[in-house]
Structure formats: C-alpha cells, structure tokens
A and B are shown apart, each in its own frame.
Chain A
Amino acid sequence: MSKTMNLTLHVWRQKGGTDVGGFETYKAQDISEHMSFLEMLDVVNERLLADGKEPIAFDSDCREGICGMCGMVINGVPHGPNAATTTCQLHMRHFNDGDEVTIEPWRASAFPVLRDLVVDRGAFDRIIQAGGYISASSGSAPEANGLPVPKADADRAMDAAACIGCGACVAACPNASAMLFVAAKAAHLGALPQGQPERWERVKKMVAQMDAEGFGHCSNHYECMAACPKEISVDFIAQLNRDLVRATVVEREHEEKSGGAG
C-alpha cells in the first residue's frame, strides 16, 4: 500500500516573456509517493484543465534523466532536494504530507522565461555552435584501435560528456555563471585526440560566446557542482581556465582565411 500526500504548491506563473508574472498557490491532493515530481505536476494540471484553468507550463521530454529539459528550482534547489537527480527522476517519497513546495524557473537573463517554468536555453546552443564541435568529415567508422585513447583520457572525456545541458549550474550559481557547462563541453572534446586540432580556438570561441550571452563570472562557490544532476566536477572549470590562458597567451593565432590551398 503506497502512501499518499497532500501538498501546497507555490508556483511561478508567467504568461510570456513580457508578462510580469507572479506566484500562484495550488493544492496537490492525493499524490502517490511513487509519482515523479513531473507526474505530480501532471495531476495538478489535469485538475486545472478540468476546472477550465490554464495548466502550469513546464519542460519535459525523456523523463528518464538524460535529456536535460525538465529544469525547475524546487524549494530553492535546482532539480529539488535530491543530489544527482533531475526533476523527472525526483520522486514524491522525498516529500512529506502537508509540505509547502515553492517552484520557480531558472533565473538568469541569458535564460529568458518563455512561460511559467519554461525558459529558453538557446544561449547554450549558441555556445556549442561557437566551438563545441569537431570539424572533420565523419566518413565511415574508423578501425577501433586506429586512434589509441588512454583509459584515463577516455574516462575524463566521458565524465565531462555526461553533461545534459540542463542549466542547473547557471540556476544554482549566485552569479548566474555558465562556467560549469562551458567547461564540461570544452573538456570532453579537449580530452580526446579528435578534439586536439581545434582545442585552443574552441576554448576562446566558447568563452567569448558565454560572455556575450550575458552569463555572470565564476567566483568559486561550487554551487554548480552541488546542483548538477550529472555531478560534473569543478575540476573542469580549472581546466577551462588553464586552457583559455594557454590559448590566448601561448598558442599561435589561428587565422581564418577563405579559399587557398592547404
């Protein structure tokens, strides 16, 4: 027999980017402890719809903790109280009957609110477009051992690549900085041989785009690492700092010229 609970929700409601927005209070009744946080919101929304009211808008896609869509700040913590857990994987058994739950969108000027709890994380896409890729003809898959990758490098690249781009790092940072995201994305390519040719240009371009998007600076609170559902380490931020210094001070300038041979 599973427990059920009744909660009081304080939810940020905002019709669109230009709307001022504000908090509304809702009752979430007869919530099973086995529901995920998003399923709880689904229940609330169905009741709102039945009453002829606008449902609470929130992002979700895979609901298995790997797509990075379902970000919201729950009682002051991005993705809620459980460590290394996305909102969709947060279960209601971590709440108690009678709890008051405050739900807010990510707060950052670079993540404008589109509606209620939905923010536009296009800034992250533009950072990736600026340099978070490898320019190579893909062709067919190469011989497995043609390009040896040391185990430690492969592990490090995988640790960084675990980033799902959810934006919890920005939401948690007192400065709304995107350093952990940028560091992870630069490091997962920078750790591998395929990423080396563009390593230094990549770091410069991604950091420039990060700054242009209006994210804050890093002041080493490490709130990002605590909030990250994939437990990305701030060690990657040290790497980003190191790589940017090397890219701008030591490495030769890459000149972009169109055409020409070689």
Chain B
Amino acid sequence: MPMAKAITLHDTTIGKKVVMAVTGLVLYGFVIAHMLGNLQVFMGPEQLNGYAKKLHDLGPLLYAARAVILLALVLHVAMVVQLVSRTAAARPIGYRLKKNQVTTYAALTMKLGGVVLMLFIVYHLAHFTFPGLSMTAGYKHSPTDVYANVVSGFRVPWVTAIYVLAQLCLGLHLYHGAFSLFQTLGLSHPRYVEKARFVAQTLGIAVAAANIAMPVAVVAGIVK
C-alpha cells in the first residue's frame, strides 16, 4: 500500500459526507416548505390555488429555487453513489453472525429508503406536475386548479397507499439524516446529542404525519 498524498476535502469520504449533509439540509428545507404549502389544502380551494398562483408568479425566482433544489438532489445522490460503490468493497466477506447493538432501523434503511424516495419523487412529479397523471377516471389534470388535482389524485386508494408508504420512508430518512447532519458537519456535542436525536425524531414524525394527513383526508372525505 503506497502512502497517500494529502488531498482536498471533496476527495475524501468525509468530504463527500459533508456534501451530503449540506445538500440534505437544503432538501430538508424544501420538504418543510413543500409541506407547509400543501397543508393549505385544509384551508379550502381558494387558499391553496391562490398560494399556487403566487408561487408561479414568482417566475425566475421560482426557477432559481428549483435549480438549487435539483442541484442539491443531484449532488446528494452522486455522493451516495460514490460512497456506496467504494464502501461495497470494504467488506467483501460478511459475517455469518452479526449483532448490531445500538444502530437504529432508520440508519440501517437509509440507502434503501433513499432509493424508494427517488422512485417516489419521479412518480409524484408525474402524478401532479408533468404530465399530471390522474388515476381517477374521467378527470383531466388542471395546471391552475391544484385543489381539484389533489382531490382527484388521492381518491384512488392504492395511490394514497403509495403516498403513505413513501412518507413513512421519508420520516425515517429525515430522522437519521437530520441526526447525522450535525455529526458529519462536526457540530455535534455530547451535551446536546440526545436532544438532537429527540428533535430529529419529532420533526421526522411531524413531517411524515402532516404529509400523510392530506391524502388520507381525501380518502376519508374530509377534503373534497
């Protein structure tokens, strides 16, 4: 093994994790904003459609925000692909018996959950944004009546089931992601680590619950 030369941050596994932490934070911010925007479905069609119009009227600003989010997503995925492909070779022969002692379900399902979320993002965009595939027979996707799209989009139980499952994955992903972020950026401290875990858990559950509430409310006939 030759001695390695000193390197720049992004060449290291730690640097790639730092990129994942920063981009993860950007994506977390988007998830929160997206949730707050969507929750206006409970305030009626005028409120939600008015909010959607305001967003669209932002014009170039909206596209700039979308570009930042897309870039964060691309970097987040690119880094994990690089990390996973090199780490896959780190233990070519596994254990016959391995007992994990302290890790969490959320931590162990990070990669699988990430794949599920990627597939969900593609489906979600196709469902509501482009081309707008409504699963309700006879309904035509409207670019302006977001409220009607939501109601028709979630009337189909299996569509709602997909959303509920995806949001459970999102909650777990956000929990371990938010908890890890501080450690990866070197900001964690033993004094606050259990508080950070509690906040990460609570936020993850809150986001998942709020996002699940919307499709379930449609299926239950609360939002119609």
Contacts and interface: CB of A to CB of B under 8 A. Distances in A.
Contact of B102 (A104, A221, A241): A221
B108 A221 contact: yes
Contact of B92 (A109, A212, A238): A109
B216 to A, nearest CB: 32
Given A126-B1, A204-B6, A222-B102, A107 B93 contact: yes
B17 to A, nearest CB: 6
Contacts of A196: none
A217 B100 contact: no
B15 to A, nearest CB: 7
Contact of B91 (A107, A201, A208, A210): A107
Nearest to A233: B190
B188 A235 contact: yes
Interface stretch (B40-48, B149-157, B161-169, B176-184): B176-184
B65 interface: no
Interface residues of A, number: 59
A177 to B, nearest CB: 7
B184 A220 contact: yes
A189 interface: no
A107 B176 contact: no
B208 interface: no
B3 A218 contact: no
A73 B107 CA distance: 22
Given A220-B183, A220-B184, A207 B91 contact: no
A52 B101 CA distance: 39
A76 B97 contact: yes
Contacts of B8: 248
Interface in B165-206: 176, 179-180, 182-190
A215 interface: yes
Contact of A225 (B11, B83, B102, B176): B102
Given A75-B97, A109-B92, A245-B9, A223 B102 contact: yes
A160 B16 CA distance: 25
Contacts of B3: 126, 129-130, 209
A237 B183 contact: yes
B54 interface: no
Given A76-B98, A217-B83, A241-B185, A223 B103 contact: yes
A239 B96 contact: no
B87 interface: yes
A201 to B, nearest CB: 7
A220 B176 contact: yes
Contacts of B18: 241, 245
B186 A227 contact: no
B85 to A, nearest CB: 11
Interface in A231-262: 233-235, 237-245, 248-249
Contacts of B100: 174, 221, 223
B101 A226 contact: yes
Nearest to B110: A219
B207 to A, nearest CB: 20
B12 A207 contact: yes
Interface of A: 10, 23, 73, 75-77, 102, 104, 107-110, 122-123, 126, 129-130, 172, 174-177, 201, 204-205, 207-223, 225-227, 233-235, 237-245, 248-249
27 contacts: A73-B95, A73-B98, A77-B99, A104-B95, A109-B92, A172-B101, A174-B100, A174-B108, A204-B6, A205-B4, A207-B12, A209-B3, A209-B4, A214-B89, A214-B90, A215-B90, A217-B16, A217-B86, A219-B110, A221-B100, A221-B102, A221-B107, A222-B103, A226-B101, A227-B101, A242-B187, A244-B14
Interface of B: 1-9, 11-18, 83, 86-87, 89-104, 107-108, 110, 176, 179-180, 182-190
Given A76-B95, A215-B90, A243-B186, 15 more contacts: A73-B95, A108-B91, A109-B92, A172-B101, A175-B91, A208-B4, A208-B5, A208-B11, A214-B86, A214-B90, A217-B17, A221-B108, A235-B188, A245-B186, A249-B9
